[in-house]
Amino acid sequence: MKLVTYEAADRARVGLVHDGRVADLAELGIDAADMLQLLRSGLDRLAAAARRGLPAGRPLDEVRLLAPVPRPGKIIGVGRNYRAHAAEGGLETQEKPRLFTKVPSSVTGPDGPVEKPAIVTKLDWEAEIAVVVGRTMRDVPEDRALDYVAGYTLLNDVSAREFQFDVKPPQTSFAKSMDGFCPMGPWLVTADEIPDPGHLRLTCRVNGALMQDGNTRDMIFPIPLILSYVSRYLALEPGDVIATGTPDGVGVFRKPPVFLQPGDRVEVACPAIGVLGNTVVERAGGQGGAT
């Protein structure tokens, strides 16, 4: 199933995408105020209702899609998790996952704006597969971790590199948490449709030019290991999001470096999930710079 949060009649609703249309969950007899409530209640009832038949719904191009989980409880990122990405930056391969957070207010949806603060000059892209947790996880072994996944979506881990690399100490979470720095979407593809997330192609295009072209088989820490590792230290809850790392091809490590400018269009894509597109816009205001 492909699940969406979309806007209709000036309010967010939850729907199921099929044949280029969106069926509201209320039409399927599912009472869910938002995606978090749906995930907390489980997807079994929805799957059973979908098997009985889907209402026509409305055309997908007539609704405005929001991030599948517009305000996750937690967004945890895994840095330097693709071998080729670590190599392009001349960075050491780590023995354990390197974690950071993105604040929930940084989330924007498909076609939502990526806001570039006027004083940020090193704005960069990072195409990622994001895992959406479906059940509370505590101390879950690696061989059972995928049982707790609701599904997968795409995420662009937008980063202000001057705060990540040019200051001491580095401010990684801040560099990745500004408004609009976490595009997600276009929908949540349920886990049953992607039984093996270890072999997914992932690309990123900027203004149509291919910048990243990787595969999750290049991950240093596979998705089950990441989930198990995090669950040893903190509870993962329904709707929490894990951004699993980016392939090589980011702007900061290009020669010369390439950074995003207002008007640039970034498209993150995975054949098993879809395409997430966003445009960079200038956000006026603010004084000074990184210190």
Please check the confidence at residue 291 and state whether its pLDDT lies above 80: no
- Check: CB of residue 39 under 8 Å from CB of residue 1: no
Instruction: Among 3.30.230.10, 2.102.10.10, 3.40.50.2300, 3.90.850.10, name the CATH number for the domain at 75-283.
Output: 3.90.850.10
Please give the pLDDT value at position 93: 80
Residue-level pLDDT at 91: 77
Q: To the nearest 10°, the Cα dihedral for 31, 33, 34, 38?
A: -30
pLDDT tens profile 243-273: 999 999 999 999 999 999 999 999 999 999 9
Q: In the predicted model, is pLDDT for residue 278 greater than 70?
A: yes
Could you give the CA distance from residue 144 to residue 149 in angstroms, rounded to a whole number? 10
Among residues 18, 14, 13, which one has the least CA distance to residue 1? 18
> Averaged over 172-187, what is the pLDDT?
98
Q: Evaluate if residue 290 carries a pLDDT over 70.
A: no
Nearest to 257 by CA among 90, 139, 100, 122: 122
CB count, 10 Å around CB of 235?
14
pLDDT of residue 289: 46
| Whether the Cβ atoms of residue 69 and residue 9 lie closer than 8 Å to each other | no
Query: Is residue 95 packed enough to be buried (19+ CB in 10 Å), middle (13-18) or exposed (0-12)?
Result: exposed
pTM: 0.96
Q: Where are the domains of the chain?
A: 2-66, 75-283
What would the pLDDT profile of 216-240 be if each residue is shown by its tens digit?
999 999 999 999 999 999 999 999 9
